[in-house]
Amino acid sequence: MRKLLACAVAIAAVNGVAQAADDPFYKGKRVTVLVNFASAGPTDIEGRLFAKFLGKHLAGKPNIIVQNMDGAGGAVGTSFLGEIAPRDGTMVGYLSGIAWRHASVKEKARVDILTYNFVAYQPGTTVYYARADIAPGLKKPADIVKGENIVIGGLSSDSSKDLLLRLTADMLGLNYKYVTGYKSNSAARLAFDRGEISMFSESPPGYRSVVEPGVIALGTAVPLFYNPGWNGSRFAEPSQVRGLNMPSFDKFYKELKGKEPSGELWEAYKRVLATSSAMQRMIVFPPNVPQQAMKSVRDAIRDFEKDPDYAAEAEKLVGFVPDYEAGDDVQEDVRRALTIKDEERDWLMNYAARSGKG
């Protein structure tokens, strides 16, 4: 009898181990989605949408929470993820602005971004707008070239957002002053509302959810243009801008100048676009996380992109459906995108270091 009991206990133990081995990686765990910009900003809006549907589709149904860690154009949260975050798969970054930061100033990073584990990325764009009360007054977008004492606001002089703002302004020949160092998009937006700055840019979630129904609808601001998609060889209309009544920058420039943009500034603009817009949002684990964690999250992303509830809520919340690249070759794609020639980087960093108009 004792032998039979011992045998039954052993079989139960083996079955328990086998059942545990078959359990989803995230069963019984809590996952933190780390967003590297402040709450209510465009990265946060998309990040919370991502977190909600990750929780719905991630095998094991773990509890999902969102943590914002903003500062230094996204560098604070990105550094935390690489230096301090747990490496057991329980913290995943929803990051913006890191592709260009690595390509341009990688020696300033405390952790090499290429040692992180990339699960997915989302191409993106940026929408530009200006205050209607810029003297002598903006009644239509083309009036921006006549504007006096325009104040362009930014987050960090070496960020892709700031570089693209200044490059477009210089190509258009705007009369402007450049002020940077705002902690987040929401802080810069508040400065815009107060009239401290008069020209700014945002990614489509922030523009559609806050700017368009706010200052644009009130007539206190005028939409200008958006950055086209650029993969190094051709332009494309990003899905995020469909339905917005404005041209891409290259078309806006041609309408005003009667010719295609060209020259040193134009080549620099395309170089920044090729890196920053190709990978505007990134789903990232810190270095050395279990492969099971990466596969589980990647599978969940592929699943929720087929979810009609995800599409419906995305359209309602941000005005488009974020489309993630979540193939098995994401890591290789990221490495290629983050490669930039030394001479190109040096030119852009010298440009970024100038305190005013180029």
DSSP class of 212: I
Buried b / exposed e over 304-331, threshold 16 CB at 10 Å, is bbeeeebeeebeebbbbebebbbeeebe
Please say whether the beta carbons of 250 and 261 come within 8 A.
yes
Q: Is residue 235 part of a domain?
A: yes
180 and 57 in one domain? no
Does the pLDDT at position 220 exceed 70? yes
Radius of gyration of the chain (CA): 23
> The domain that contains 267 carries what CATH number?
3.40.190.10
44 and 81 in one domain? yes
SS (H, E, C) 45-57: HHHHHHHHHHHHH
> The domain that contains 296 carries what CATH number?
3.40.190.150
223 and 322 in one domain? no
**Least confident stretch, 81-85, 128-132, 337-341:** 337-341
Question: What is the per-residue pLDDT across 108-148, written as a single tens digit (0 to 9) for each?
Answer: 667 788 889 999 988 778 999 999 999 999 999 999 999 99
Q: What is the mean pLDDT of residues 299-316?
A: 95
132 and 115 in one domain? no
Q: Is residue 197 part of a domain?
A: yes
Total number of domains in the chain? 2
246 and 135 in one domain? yes
271 and 147 in one domain? yes
Give pTM, 2 decimals.
0.69
Q: Is residue 4 part of a domain?
A: no
Containing structural domain, residue 315: 29-124+277-344
Question: What is the per-residue pLDDT across 271-291, written as a single tens digit (0 to 9) for each?
Answer: 888 887 777 889 999 999 999
231 and 110 in one domain? no
Q: Is residue 288 part of a domain?
A: yes
